[in-house]
Amino acid sequence: MRRYVLVRTLSIVPALFGVSIAVFLLVRLIPGTVVDQMVGTEGAYSEESMRALRAFFGLDQPIYVQYVRWLGALLQGDLGVSWRTGLPVLQMILNRLVVTAELTLAAMLVALAVGIPLGMLSARRENTSIDHAVRVISLVSLSMPVFWQATMLILAVSLLLNWAPSVDFVSPWTDPLRNLAIIALPSLALGTAVAAVFMRMTRSSLLETMRQDYIRTARAKGLREQEVLWGHALRNSLIPLVTVAGVQVGYLLGGAVVTEEVFTLPGVGRLLLWGVFQRDYPLVQGTILFISSLFLVSNLVVDLIYAYLDPRIHYG
């Protein structure tokens, strides 16, 4: 087990290295640089001043030199300094991480609370009107973009309840009730799309499990259907769900970028968008690398949970 944990942990390193190369190159494909942004918003600069600005930001160096310098700082645990604010990138991310973490956790809870029960209901009522309705709902939910769903949710709540989301975020430690009111709609908009994935996966996994020989044996022993479902079928159906949950953490972190912007939540996702608009390369690179690290760590945790859920799994 220890060997497996070590090997899986070390496997994150090459993945992050690949992400660092990809984000470093892709962010530079965005038209314009931070110098162009400054010239466009703060007046005309002379050519000499623009050359000085490019040299100040290191943009006059070859791209491989810029990457090696950034990578060297990364190896020392330094994500860099924001070109626009002058603050350390890691500090800016950590200051907003609580918002994104709360949104991701709340959305995952919504997804699990909605997706798994509906998937179980659909599996137990296979080929009935309830099953068809649940499958249609999951298909519609999967087809709706998060930004459109979030916008329609705001519109519906505003028209029906004459209430609009607050633009000022309040932490759960300051005012839990107001925080819940602020985070409810974003988590609902973000969580329902993931809930559709859990619905479909729960249904297919549970149907496959319910056809196994040990389920028929449990029924033959006289166990009640509820005992068979909860005590035997559901636990063995959780392995695919855990896999999906680990992958969906990445989806939730990516969806948080759009959701935070729509609901004006001061999270890491909105910080990333601001960095892209301002062409703040260190901020964009550091934020994406940080989010990628969280995604890879979540996948590692999922792999370790396998052993608990299924004792048949052994690690070499």
pLDDT at position 40 is 65
Mean pLDDT by 10 residues, the chain (316 residues): 72 88 89 77 67 84 90 89 90 90 89 87 84 86 82 79 70 81 85 86 83 77 74 73 76 80 86 89 92 84 68 55
pLDDT at position 67 is 92
Give the whole-angstrom CA distance, residue 61 versus residue 114.
52
pLDDT at position 21 is 92
pLDDT at position 93 is 92
pLDDT at position 88 is 92
Give the whole-angstrom CA distance, residue 164 versus residue 279.
32
pLDDT at position 92 is 93
> Quick check: 108 and 186 in contact, CB under 8 A?
no
pLDDT at position 24 is 92
Domains of the chain: 93-280 (1.10.3720.10)
- Number of neighbouring beta carbons within 10 Å of residue 207: 16
Q: Which residue has the tokens 């006059």?
A: 60
